Amino acid sequence: MYDSPAEMQLSINASESQVVTVSLRRQAAAGGLENNDAFFEFLQSFHEHNRYLLPNTAGCHSAKEAITTSLMARELFKTNWIKIRSHWRRLHVTTGPISISRICKRIN
Protein backbone atom coordinates (compact mmCIF):
# COMPACT_ATOMS: atom_id res chain seq x y z
CA MET A 1 0.00 0.00 0.00
CA TYR A 2 1.22 3.47 -0.80
CA ASP A 3 1.66 6.19 1.80
CA SER A 4 -0.81 8.42 -0.04
CA PRO A 5 -3.03 8.47 -3.12
CA ALA A 6 -0.65 11.05 -4.63
CA GLU A 7 2.29 8.65 -4.28
CA MET A 8 0.21 5.89 -5.92
CA GLN A 9 -0.70 8.20 -8.82
CA LEU A 10 2.95 9.04 -9.44
CA SER A 11 3.89 5.37 -9.42
CA ILE A 12 1.12 4.36 -11.83
CA ASN A 13 1.90 7.22 -14.19
CA ALA A 14 5.62 6.41 -14.16
CA SER A 15 4.96 2.72 -14.86
CA GLU A 16 2.65 3.48 -17.80
CA SER A 17 0.55 0.50 -16.71
CA GLN A 18 -2.60 -0.14 -18.69
CA VAL A 19 -4.30 -2.34 -16.07
CA VAL A 20 -4.18 -1.52 -12.39
CA THR A 21 -5.65 -3.64 -9.61
CA VAL A 22 -6.81 -1.92 -6.47
CA SER A 23 -8.45 -2.94 -3.21
CA LEU A 24 -11.32 -0.60 -2.50
CA ARG A 25 -11.72 -1.72 1.10
CA ARG A 26 -8.06 -1.35 2.03
CA GLN A 27 -7.66 2.03 0.37
CA ALA A 28 -10.85 3.45 1.85
CA ALA A 29 -9.72 2.42 5.32
CA ALA A 30 -6.21 3.84 4.92
CA GLY A 31 -6.73 7.56 4.81
CA GLY A 32 -8.97 10.46 5.62
CA LEU A 33 -11.89 11.57 3.48
CA GLU A 34 -9.81 14.08 1.54
CA ASN A 35 -7.38 11.32 0.52
CA ASN A 36 -10.22 9.02 -0.46
CA ASP A 37 -11.84 11.71 -2.63
CA ALA A 38 -8.59 12.26 -4.53
CA PHE A 39 -8.09 8.51 -4.84
CA PHE A 40 -11.54 7.88 -6.32
CA GLU A 41 -11.30 10.84 -8.71
CA PHE A 42 -8.01 9.47 -9.99
CA LEU A 43 -9.44 5.98 -10.49
CA GLN A 44 -12.51 7.28 -12.27
CA SER A 45 -10.28 9.07 -14.78
CA PHE A 46 -8.64 5.84 -15.94
CA HIS A 47 -10.73 5.41 -19.09
CA GLU A 48 -9.70 8.89 -20.26
CA HIS A 49 -6.09 7.66 -20.32
CA ASN A 50 -6.80 4.27 -21.97
CA ARG A 51 -6.26 2.42 -18.70
CA TYR A 52 -8.36 -0.26 -17.08
CA LEU A 53 -9.16 -0.68 -13.44
CA LEU A 54 -9.31 -4.14 -11.90
CA PRO A 55 -10.96 -3.77 -8.48
CA ASN A 56 -10.33 -6.63 -6.07
CA THR A 57 -11.85 -7.95 -2.86
CA ALA A 58 -8.71 -7.80 -0.72
CA GLY A 59 -9.58 -6.64 2.77
CA CYS A 60 -12.93 -8.44 2.81
CA HIS A 61 -13.42 -10.79 5.75
CA SER A 62 -16.25 -12.94 4.39
CA ALA A 63 -17.84 -14.07 1.17
CA LYS A 64 -20.74 -11.71 1.87
CA GLU A 65 -18.36 -8.72 2.11
CA ALA A 66 -16.65 -9.81 -1.12
CA ILE A 67 -20.00 -9.94 -2.91
CA THR A 68 -21.03 -6.50 -1.62
CA THR A 69 -17.66 -4.97 -2.49
CA SER A 70 -17.74 -6.52 -5.97
CA LEU A 71 -21.21 -5.18 -6.69
CA MET A 72 -20.23 -1.70 -5.48
CA ALA A 73 -17.05 -1.72 -7.58
CA ARG A 74 -18.93 -2.83 -10.67
CA GLU A 75 -21.41 0.01 -10.30
CA LEU A 76 -18.92 2.67 -9.19
CA PHE A 77 -16.35 2.03 -11.91
CA LYS A 78 -18.65 0.70 -14.66
CA THR A 79 -16.65 -2.52 -15.04
CA ASN A 80 -17.38 -6.22 -15.08
CA TRP A 81 -13.76 -6.96 -14.25
CA ILE A 82 -13.44 -7.98 -10.60
CA LYS A 83 -10.56 -9.87 -9.03
CA ILE A 84 -11.95 -12.14 -6.31
CA ARG A 85 -9.51 -12.84 -3.48
CA SER A 86 -10.19 -15.13 -0.55
CA HIS A 87 -8.45 -14.71 2.81
CA TRP A 88 -11.12 -15.89 5.19
CA ARG A 89 -9.46 -18.82 6.98
CA ARG A 90 -9.90 -17.20 10.39
CA LEU A 91 -13.66 -17.08 9.93
CA HIS A 92 -14.00 -20.76 8.94
CA VAL A 93 -15.35 -19.84 5.52
CA THR A 94 -14.55 -22.25 2.73
CA THR A 95 -11.79 -20.77 0.62
CA GLY A 96 -10.48 -21.73 -2.74
CA PRO A 97 -12.11 -22.45 -6.07
CA ILE A 98 -15.50 -23.55 -4.69
CA SER A 99 -16.04 -20.42 -2.61
CA ILE A 100 -14.76 -18.16 -5.39
CA SER A 101 -17.06 -19.87 -7.87
CA ARG A 102 -20.05 -19.26 -5.58
CA ILE A 103 -19.14 -15.58 -5.19
CA CYS A 104 -18.82 -15.16 -8.96
CA LYS A 105 -22.24 -16.73 -9.49
CA ARG A 106 -23.77 -14.32 -6.96
CA ILE A 107 -22.33 -11.20 -8.56
CA ASN A 108 -23.02 -12.24 -12.13
Residues classed as catalytic: 83
- Burial class of residue 57 in the structure, from the number of CB atoms within 10 Å of its CB (0-12 exposed, 13-18 middle, 19+ buried): buried
Do residues 34 and 40 make contact, with C-beta atoms less than 8 angstroms apart? no
Q: Which amino acid is at 22?
A: V
Query: Partners of 62 in the beta sheet?
Result: none
Do residues 67 and 58 make contact, with C-beta atoms less than 8 angstroms apart? no
Alpha-carbon torsion angle 64, 70, 76, 79, nearest 10: -160
